[in-house]
A = this chain, B = another copy of it.
Amino acid sequence: MDYQSVLEEIYEEIQPLLGEGKVADYIPALAQIDPKQFGMSITCNDGTTYNIGLTKTKFSIQSISKVYGFTLALRTYQKELYTRVWREPSGDPFNSLVQLEYEAGIPRNPFINAGAIVVSDALYSRYQDQTLHELLSFVKDSADTQDITIDKTVATSEMEHGFRNMSLANLMKSFGNFNNEVTPVLEAYFGQCSIAMNTQELSRSMLYLANNGTDPITHKTFINPAQAKRINAVMLTCGHYDASGDFAFRVGLPGKSGVGGGIIAVVPGKMSIAVFSPALNEQGNSLVGTNALELFTTKTGLSIF
């Protein structure tokens, strides 16, 4: 199929939507971004790539980083990880403390904030002050490039406004599901959220999830096939906070979004797709990005359903 033409059609069709939605504004560094940007990249398992729009513009990957964290923790702890974080949809706004309280400090899944923080705590137990370094190394490996850095302005700003995440971490600690000091773990967590990447790098880096855990180009094996399938399953059911069902319904692909405006999606066996557009819809996911992906599966029939 001529994916480049598909991207061009999508590019035309989403133009009227640019300007809708609003960018994340809880920290100054994110609030200042031009909301009308758009870029979309495809990397296929055979190495071919397709790009349209601002695909070299770096942006804050934010919660997309939770996929990397989960991958690394699953590789480190295997099934043991599931004693500390479940894999059920949360059915609640993304950073609510309510379910965490009712469920005794065990987060519903690794893609809500509480779950990602517990993943960071697990990684910190293993890697200590090298946690963020290890995570970043993994991202560079999976993206097959050294040119990926952390936006320190964003990281510092996140830490300064991170009271709710501080609250989540302390609540889990009170339930015994947090094993290290809160501050350094959150520094690692906010560090990973502040990784800056472009859509080309993002789509390249997620290719292992489209190929059973092994990068089809470098042939590096990051995780085993069962783990890869399961990360995809969790992305499908939990990847978009309280709009996960809607994303599965409209797009029909495993995916993960970030409040920086990025979304990645995986077509198992075929390709990885990344899209970037900073203005968010009411559920906190890229408004144009979601639409672009819905157009993509409608035009190509590549929904997993």
A33 to chain B, nearest CB (A): 23
Query: What's the Cα separation between A60 and B171 when bound, in Å?
Result: 25
Query: What's the Cα separation between A171 and B113 when bound, in Å?
Result: 14
The listed residue (B87, B164, B230, B237) touching A171 by CB distance below 8 A is B164
A91 to chain B, nearest CB (A): 2
B174 touches A167 (CB 8 A): yes
1/0 per residue, CB under 8 A from B, across A81-101: the answer is: 000001111111000111101
A248 contacts B by Cβ under 8 Å = yes
How many residues of A sit at the interface, in one of the four size bands? 35 or more
A67 to chain B, nearest CB (A): 14
A230 touches B249 (CB 8 A): yes
A140 contacts B by Cβ under 8 Å = no
A236 contacts B by Cβ under 8 Å = yes
A244 contacts B by Cβ under 8 Å = yes
A26 to chain B, nearest CB (A): 10
Closest to A209 in B: B305
Query: What's the Cα separation between A233 and B298 when bound, in Å?
Result: 14
A108 to chain B, nearest CB (A): 7
B254 touches A88 (CB 8 A): no
A126 to chain B, nearest CB (A): 22
Q: A87-B246, A88-B245, A91-B108 are known contacts. Are A305 and B236 too (CB-CB below 8 A)?
A: yes
A88 touches B242 (CB 8 A): yes
Collect the chain B residues with CB atoms within 8 Å of residue A96's CB. Answer: 101
Collect the chain B residues with CB atoms within 8 Å of residue A109's CB. Answer: 245
A101 touches B97 (CB 8 A): yes
A118 contacts B by Cβ under 8 Å = no
Count this chain's copies in the assembly. Answer: 4
Collect the chain B residues with CB atoms within 8 Å of residue A17's CB. Answer: none
The listed residue (B171, B173, B233) touching A305 by CB distance below 8 A is B233
Collect the chain B residues with CB atoms within 8 Å of residue A228's CB. Answer: 305
Query: What's the Cα separation between A170 and B172 when bound, in Å?
Result: 13
A281 to chain B, nearest CB (A): 14
B234 touches A245 (CB 8 A): yes
Closest to A304 in B: B304
Collect the chain B residues with CB atoms within 8 Å of residue A27's CB. Answer: none
The listed residue (B171, B182, B226, B305) touching A304 by CB distance below 8 A is B305
Collect the chain B residues with CB atoms within 8 Å of residue A150's CB. Answer: none
Query: What's the Cα separation between A237 and B230 when bound, in Å?
Result: 14
Which residues of A are interface residues toward B (Cβ below 8 A)? 86-92, 96-99, 101-102, 108-109, 163-164, 166-171, 173-174, 178, 182, 226, 228-230, 232-234, 236-238, 242-246, 248-249, 252, 254, 268, 298, 303-305
- Sort A-B residue pairs by CB-CB distance and give the 7 closest, nearest first: A91-B91, A89-B89, A167-B170, A163-B174, A88-B245, A232-B305, A164-B174
